[in-house]
């Protein structure tokens, strides 16, 4: 028992039995440091690490709720806790012993390699693996098996940034650092919704602007995001026209004589060729290509060139593109031409999507890379790595990258897939092909922490991996900063560390691939002599010697003693390097950077008459990737509660649709059904669907009777020829209202120990309707330990009573306390389960089918846990108007303190003065936005929208 009872409520308060462990947040590439508090082997709280240079103690909505995602209730319901095997695809997997699982995996892989050669297998990893995991994965494929078919979801994330840096600066190294925010005079944010995707960096940007009001913020994005709302200048360009914009700006810079000729001459090559190209990019033509006012283009160029130093921040808007490398390079052109690089407050700063995409790049864990920023295509590099590893060679032939790997599997060329720490059945474009690949593959191993991902359903063998709070190793964040990640608690169930699983697998495979091991250098009997993550890391460190990312001066000890360090940090150096290229010398043969003389190319699938809308995808503020972790918390659905497609209000009106109506969204590759909502952030004839909504949350049966696989059923597999990164940010789609008159909505508060399991149990029913979505809601920790589950469906006709009864049983809408209304022949069905409380009867769960217009008032009644005594049988009445007025708490704006919009608007009426002053008063009054601050941009909008009432003056 805890020696200190007052610590039992999970407050950060220290107590003798409370242990604090340093680690990092497993979400975005900001790489925030966290302090994990644990007691008796259980994680009880998380705080930002005040000493970590990425966040100085801050955490966003996602980071500050990490400990809740590690609660026993969540672990028991969602984690993969024992190895499992599926005898038949489509059947439920059964637990097996680790040894059995690993032996079978090794046998299958060895057999396929012997029969079809090393390139018949593929490894697909993740930017969320730690550097050590990544290193072993890479060595396993390239060193032991002898295939370069090893790639990761970083391919969907950062490979265009990698290729962009290498094409211009000579190496994959972001030259700037977070500290530069405080020195920049102009901040140029392109294709990045920092407010959502990197909230803590956005806090730092807000701080920097407060400290330096003269700083200009330019935001370029097809959507008017919360980031754009903050901008002094917002350029709402047409999708994919970034290169034209950058060339247009360069054109203006040249015309206005804002080029740093000296820098260009001394430190770069190829400016003339580029100049010849941009000559044609006149402001007028560019303005019309990008769909922005000429004046804005010119102003952007002038701020960029004149109000220096200028720092560019960019992310998936540039990367996830069929011209991703060009977009990155064209932006870097601007920095080279103006000499805005290598000095404080300047540089092209690529923000990383994932927590350790950088680490993966460092160990060369990609199909075209080798350890220590080496290149497969370079024979010198290959022999260096072969020497390091003690093998006679590493294969020269570039491997299959993410999209190619699954296309190859769909063609039957790759016969065995090993998937670790990622969810391709959710995240890859063109899901039809991905699923074909997973079905066709002879053998699929999924090494995962969570058993709830779509990909798990395709696995022959499931291997339970450790995850946040349990893992031990290192990660590198966007600013080249390496942090130690230490384990706060023991692995859950029988789960094992990823590096250890791969090491075990490697050793078993070595026994079977003797013709490979025969060529090991004398004295080497295994490529996997690892007993700790540190032993792996030390080998990786050695591979960086003499490279641009040289960290031979770094050690686990140093990271633990003096905290996170930036690379390079060569032997002898006391500290890492904050900025690169201060001396203007670049890691190229002649030390000069290269201008990229390229032309603007439009998106790979331009809208046409059949598919007139441009679909954009991206992140939500409070969700992460496939939501295997964030999706376990109802409170993270407070910001955006259900899947939806955002379109321009005029398009909604033109189609005669109401907010919330279902629409069928189709591309050339697939279709989904999803509710539509108008959004001021979207330009006409464009649309946005969050990248998170996979089949785990959004499904239904398509016209061919196939289960619909979420947003990526629509996206294009076309990728950038250099970076091989697919164009997830643009697909041509059509939006049509389907005829699905019959609706079903089931909503229930359930015990936290059951809710997530119930959601899993509901999944099979998601393909029983033409449309379904299923999400949790709530606010952990809930005072009564409840978590909400919402199941929504639609169909052409009423579902069978059997299906409805199954849903009711799963959601606890049974027993004696249920009010019921049923008109079977009309498909009208309503059931309300009531629960007694001190205040009176409350609605604990309900299911309504047929006409669900009553959702408008019944749902708030349940979600806000209001007393329902006054309603009686009126709860069963149809229609959107409540028989008794309802005081709904309204939309939640601040997740941390559960502050809702109505409360904020009410308070704002009496907040006086400037926007900032009123925001402060608001925060003083309601505490909203005073914890993680992720909602501050939203609060700022509300402040602008709701002036103080005259009476209050």
Partner 1 sequence: MKKMKLVMVGNGMAGVRTLEELLKVAPDLYEITVFGAEPHPNYNRILLSPVLAGEQTLDEIILNPLSWYAEHGITLHRNKKVVSVDRTRRLVTAQDGTEAEYDRLLLATGSTPFVLPVPGKDLEGVIAYRDIADTNRMIDTARTHKHAVVIGGGLLGLEAANGLMLRGMEVTVVHIAPWLMERQLDEVSAKLLQRSLEERGLKFRIGAQTQELVGDENGRVQSVKFKDGTQVTADLVVMAAGIRPNTELAEKIGIHCNRGIVVTDTMQTVTDPRVYSVGECAAHRGIAYGLVAPLFEQGKVCANHLAQFGIGRYMGSQTSTKLKVTGIDLFSAGDFMGGEGTEEIVLSDPFGGVYKKLVLKGNKLVGACMYGDTADGSYYFKLIREGTCINDKRDRLMFGESNIVGVGHEGQSRCPSI
Write down the least CB distance from residue 815 to partner 1, Å: 8
User: For 28-96, where are the alpha helices, taking DSSP H only?
Assistant: 66-69, 72-78
Write down the least CB distance from residue 873 to partner 1, Å: 5
Dist CA 529 CA 135 (whole Å):
13
Nearer to partner 1, 707 or 854 (CB): 854
Nearer to partner 1, 518 or 816 (CB): 816
Write down the least CB distance from residue 866 to partner 1, Å: 16
Nearer to partner 1, 343 or 877 (CB): 877
Binding of partner 1 by 823 (CB under 8 A): yes
Location of structure tokens 């495979």: 509
Residue from 821, 864, 897, 931 touching partner 1 (CB under 8 A): that is 821
Which of 877, 880, 899 has the alpha carbon at shortest distance from 890? Answer: 899
Write down the least CB distance from residue 874 to partner 1, Å: 5
Structure tokens at 849: 């089918």
Q: Which stretch binds partner 1 (CB under 8 A): 198-206, 679-687, 733-741, 825-833?
A: 825-833
Tell which positions 858-877 bind partner 1, by CB under 8 A: 870-874, 876-877
Nearer to partner 1, 640 or 870 (CB): 870
Q: What is the DSSP string of 201-265?
A: HHHHHHHHHHH-TT-EEEEE-SS--HHHHT-SEEE-PPTT-HHHHHHHHHHHHHHTT---HHHHH
Q: Is the backbone peptide bond immediately before 309 cis, with ω within 30 degrees of 0? A: yes
Binding mask 716-735 for partner 1 (x = CB under 8 A): --------------------
Q: Which stretch binds partner 1 (CB under 8 A): 291-299, 594-602, 720-728, 812-820?
A: 812-820
Q: Which stretch binds partner 1 (CB under 8 A): 453-461, 513-521, 697-705, 820-828?
A: 820-828
Nearer to partner 1, 59 or 861 (CB): 861
Nearer to partner 1, 16 or 878 (CB): 878
Q: Which stretch binds partner 1 (CB under 8 A): 22-30, 181-189, 553-561, 823-831?
A: 823-831
Decide if 263 contacts 248 (C-beta within 8 A).
no
Residue from 1, 816, 887, 945 touching partner 1 (CB under 8 A): that is 816
Nearer to partner 1, 582 or 801 (CB): 801
Write down the least CB distance from residue 847 to partner 1, Å: 15
Structure tokens at 327: 């977009």
Binding of partner 1 by 851 (CB under 8 A): yes
Write down the least CB distance from residue 856 to partner 1, Å: 16
Write down the least CB distance from residue 854 to partner 1, Å: 11
- Residue 321 is classified by DSSP as S
Structure tokens at 615: 């679909």
**3-class DSSP string for 693-707:** CECCCEECECCCCCE
Torsion of CA 168, 172, 178, 181, to 10 degrees: 10
Write down the least CB distance from residue 879 to partner 1, Å: 8
Which residues are paired to 482 by β-bridges?
A: 476, 565
Binding of partner 1 by 818 (CB under 8 A): yes
Structure tokens at 457: 């359903």
Residue from 262, 824, 951, 953 touching partner 1 (CB under 8 A): that is 824
Residue from 116, 820, 889, 927 touching partner 1 (CB under 8 A): that is 820
Write down the least CB distance from residue 741 to partner 1, Å: 13
Write down the least CB distance from residue 788 to partner 1, Å: 22
Size, binding site for partner 1 by CB under 8 A? 25
Nearer to partner 1, 246 or 871 (CB): 871
22 backbone dihedrals φ, ψ, rounded to 5°: -85, 130
Write down the least CB distance from residue 809 to partner 1, Å: 18
Structure tokens at 565: 């360090």
Q: Which residues contact 518 (CB under 8 A, 6 or more apart)?
A: none
Binding of partner 1 by 822 (CB under 8 A): yes
Write down the least CB distance from residue 878 to partner 1, Å: 5
Which of 37, 135, 76 has the alpha carbon at shortest distance from 538? Answer: 135
Tell which positions 79-108 bind partner 1, by CB under 8 A: none
Binding mask 686-705 for partner 1 (x = CB under 8 A): --------------------
Nearer to partner 1, 761 or 818 (CB): 818
Dist CA 54 CA 355 (whole Å):
12
Tell which positions 871-930 bind partner 1, by CB under 8 A: 871-874, 876-879, 883
Decide if 615 contacts 665 (C-beta within 8 A).
yes
Nearer to partner 1, 651 or 851 (CB): 851
- Residue 465 is classified by DSSP as B
Write down the least CB distance from residue 855 to partner 1, Å: 15
Span between the terminal Cα atoms of the chain, in Å: 56
Q: Which stretch binds partner 1 (CB under 8 A): 154-162, 286-294, 555-563, 826-834?
A: 826-834
Give the angle 936-939-944 at the CA atoms, nearest 5°. 130
Which of 507, 469, 415, 405 has the alpha carbon at shortest distance from 23? Answer: 469
Binding of partner 1 by 828 (CB under 8 A): yes
Write down the least CB distance from residue 826 to partner 1, Å: 7
Write down the least CB distance from residue 876 to partner 1, Å: 6
Dist CA 321 CA 720 (whole Å):
6
Decide if 309 contacts 264 (C-beta within 8 A).
no
3-class secondary-structure state, position 592: coil
Dist CA 437 CA 410 (whole Å):
4
Binding of partner 1 by 817 (CB under 8 A): yes
Nearer to partner 1, 782 or 820 (CB): 820
For the purposes of burial, counting CB atoms within 10 Å of the CB of 212, is it exposed (0-12), middle (13-18) or buried (19 or more)?
Answer: middle
Location of structure tokens 């004696």: 816
Nearer to partner 1, 817 or 901 (CB): 817
Nearer to partner 1, 166 or 829 (CB): 829
Nearer to partner 1, 546 or 878 (CB): 878
For residue 134, what are the CA distances in angstroms to 140, 155, 337? 10, 14, 36
Q: Going by DSSP bridges, is the β-strand pair 216-220/233-235 parallel, antiparallel, or unpaired?
A: parallel
- Residue 419 is classified by DSSP as E
Write down the least CB distance from residue 851 to partner 1, Å: 7
Decide if 791 contacts 774 (C-beta within 8 A).
yes
Nearer to partner 1, 478 or 828 (CB): 828
Nearer to partner 1, 764 or 879 (CB): 879
Decide if 321 contacts 720 (C-beta within 8 A).
yes
Residue from 459, 819, 843, 847 touching partner 1 (CB under 8 A): that is 819
Q: Which stretch binds partner 1 (CB under 8 A): 115-123, 200-208, 261-269, 814-822?
A: 814-822
Nearer to partner 1, 519 or 873 (CB): 873
For residue 73, what are the CA distances in angstroms to 69, 638, 798? 9, 20, 35
For residue 788, what are the CA distances in angstroms to 394, 778, 836, 908? 52, 5, 18, 30
- Can you list the positions of beta strands (E) in 809-898? 818-823, 828-837, 840-850, 892-894
- Residue 3 is classified by DSSP as S
Location of structure tokens 């019309």: 288
Residue from 114, 511, 610, 826 touching partner 1 (CB under 8 A): that is 826
Residue from 597, 761, 841, 905 touching partner 1 (CB under 8 A): that is 841
Q: Would you tell me which residues interact with partner 1 (CB under 8 A)?
A: 816-826, 828, 834, 841, 851, 870-874, 876-879, 883
């Amino acid at each position: 028992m805890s020696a200190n009872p007052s610590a039992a409520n999970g407050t950060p308060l220290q107590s003798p039995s409370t242990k604090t462990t340093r680690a990092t947040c497993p979400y975005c590439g900001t790489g925030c440091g966290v302090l994990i508090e644990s007691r008796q082997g259980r994680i009880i709280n998380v705080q930002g690490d005040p000493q970590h240079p990425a966040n100085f103690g801050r955490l966003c909505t996602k980071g500050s709720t990490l400990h809740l995602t590690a609660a026993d209730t969540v672990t028991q319901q969602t984690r993969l806790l024992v190895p499992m095997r599926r005898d038949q695809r489509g059947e439920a997997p059964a637990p097996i012993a680790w040894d059995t699982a690993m032996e079978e995996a090794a046998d299958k892989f060895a057999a396929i390699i012997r029969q079809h050669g090393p390139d018949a297998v593929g490894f697909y990893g993740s930017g969320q693996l730690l550097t050590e995991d990544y290193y072993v994965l890479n060595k396993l494929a390239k060193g032991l098996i002898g295939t370069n078919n090893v790639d990761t979801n970083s391919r969907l994330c950062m490979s265009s940034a990698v290729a962009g840096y290498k094409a211009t600066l000579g190496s994959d190294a972001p030259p700037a650092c977070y500290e530069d925010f405080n020195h920049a005079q102009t901040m140029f944010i392109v294709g990045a919704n920092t407010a959502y995707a990197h909230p803590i960096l956005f806090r730092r940007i807000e701080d920097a602007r407060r400290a330096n009001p003269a700083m200009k913020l330019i935001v370029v994005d097809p959507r008017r995001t919360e980031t754009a709302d903050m901008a002094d200048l917002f350029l709402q360009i047409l999708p994919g026209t970034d290169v034209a914009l950058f060339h247009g700006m360069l054109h203006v810079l040249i015309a206005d004589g804002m080029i740093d000729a000296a820098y260009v001459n001394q430190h770069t090559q190829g400016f003339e060729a580029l100049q010849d190209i941009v000559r044609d990019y006149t402001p007028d033509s560019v303005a019309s290509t990008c769909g922005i006012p000429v004046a804005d283009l010119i102003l952007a160029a002038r701020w960029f060139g004149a109000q220096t130093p200028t720092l560019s921040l960019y992310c998936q808007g540039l990367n996830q593109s069929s011209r991703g490398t060009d977009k990155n390079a064209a932006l870097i052109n601007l920095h080279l031409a103006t000499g805005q690089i290598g000095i404080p407050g300047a540089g092209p700063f690529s923000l990383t999507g994932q927590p350790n995409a950088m680490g993966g790049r460092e160990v060369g864990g990609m199909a075209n890379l080798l350890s220590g920023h080496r290149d497969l295509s370079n024979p010198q590099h290959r022999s260096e790595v072969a020497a390091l590893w003690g093998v006679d060679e590493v294969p020269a032939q570039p491997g299959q990258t993410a999209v190619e790997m699954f296309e190859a599997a769909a063609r039957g060329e790759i016969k065995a897939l090993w998937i670790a720490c990622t969810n391709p059945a959710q995240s890859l474009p063109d899901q039809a092909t991905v699923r074909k690949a997973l079905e066709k593959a002879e053998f699929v191993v999924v090494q995962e922490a969570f058993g709830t991902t779509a990909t798990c359903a395709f696995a022959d063998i499931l291997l339970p991996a450790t995850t946040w709070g349990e893992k031990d190793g290192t990660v590198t964040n966007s600013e080249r900063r390496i942090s130690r990640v230490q384990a706060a608690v023991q692995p859950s169930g029988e789960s094992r560390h990823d590096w250890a699983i791969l090491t075990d697998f490697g050793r078993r495979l070595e026994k079977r691939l003797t013709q490979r091991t025969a060529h090991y250098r004398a004295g080497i009997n295994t490529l996997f002599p690892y007993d700790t993550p540190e032993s792996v890391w030390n080998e990786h460190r050695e591979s960086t010697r003499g490279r641009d990312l040289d960290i031979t001066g770094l050690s686990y000890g140093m990271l633990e003693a003096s905290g996170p360090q930036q690379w390079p940090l060569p032997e002898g150096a006391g500290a890492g390097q904050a900025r690169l290229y201060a001396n203007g010398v670049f890691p190229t043969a002649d030390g000069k950077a290269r201008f990229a003389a390229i032309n603007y190319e439009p998106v790979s699938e331009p809208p046409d008459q059949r598919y007139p809308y441009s679909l954009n995808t991206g992140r939500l503020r409070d969700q992460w990737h496939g939501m295997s972790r964030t999706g376990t918390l109802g409170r993270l659905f407070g910001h955006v509660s259900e899947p939806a497609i955002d379109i321009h209000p005029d398009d909604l009106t033109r189609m005669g649709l109401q907010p919330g109506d279902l629409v069928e969204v189709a591309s050339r590759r697939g279709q989904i059904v999803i509710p539509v909502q108008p959004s001021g952030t979207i330009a006409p004839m464009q649309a946005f669907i969050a990248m998170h909504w996979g089949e785990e949350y959004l499904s239904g049966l398509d016209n061919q009777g196939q289960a619909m696989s979420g947003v990526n059923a629509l996206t294009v597999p076309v990728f950038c020829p250099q970076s091989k990164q697919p164009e997830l940010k643009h697909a041509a789609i059509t939006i049509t209202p389907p005829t699905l008159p019959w609706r079903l909505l089931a909503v229930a508060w359930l015990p936290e120990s059951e809710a997530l399991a119930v959601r899993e149990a509901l999944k099979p029913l998601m393909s029983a309707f033409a449309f379904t979505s299923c999400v949790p809601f709530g606010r952990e920790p809930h005072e009564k330990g409840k978590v909400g589950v919402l199941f929504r469906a639609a169909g052409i006709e009423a579902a069978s009573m059997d299906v409805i009864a199954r849903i009711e049983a799963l959601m606890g809408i049974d027993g004696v306390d249920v009010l019921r209304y049923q008109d079977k022949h009309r498909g009208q069905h309503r059931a309300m389960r009531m629960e007694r409380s001190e205040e009176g009867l409350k609605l604990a769960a309900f299911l309504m089918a047929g006409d669900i217009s009553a959702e408008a008032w019944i749902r708030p009644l349940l979600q806000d846990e209001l007393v329902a005594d006054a309603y009686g049988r009126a709860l069963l009445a149809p229609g959107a108007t409540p028989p008794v007025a309802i005081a709904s708490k309204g939309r939640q704006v601040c997740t941390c303190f559960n502050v809702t919009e109505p409360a904020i608007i009410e308070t704002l009426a009496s907040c006086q003065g400037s926007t900032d002053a009123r925001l402060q008063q608001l925060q003083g009054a309601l505490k909203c936005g005073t914890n993680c601050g992720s909602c501050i941009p939203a609060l700022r909008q509300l402040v602008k929208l709701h002036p103080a009432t005259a009476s209050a003056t």
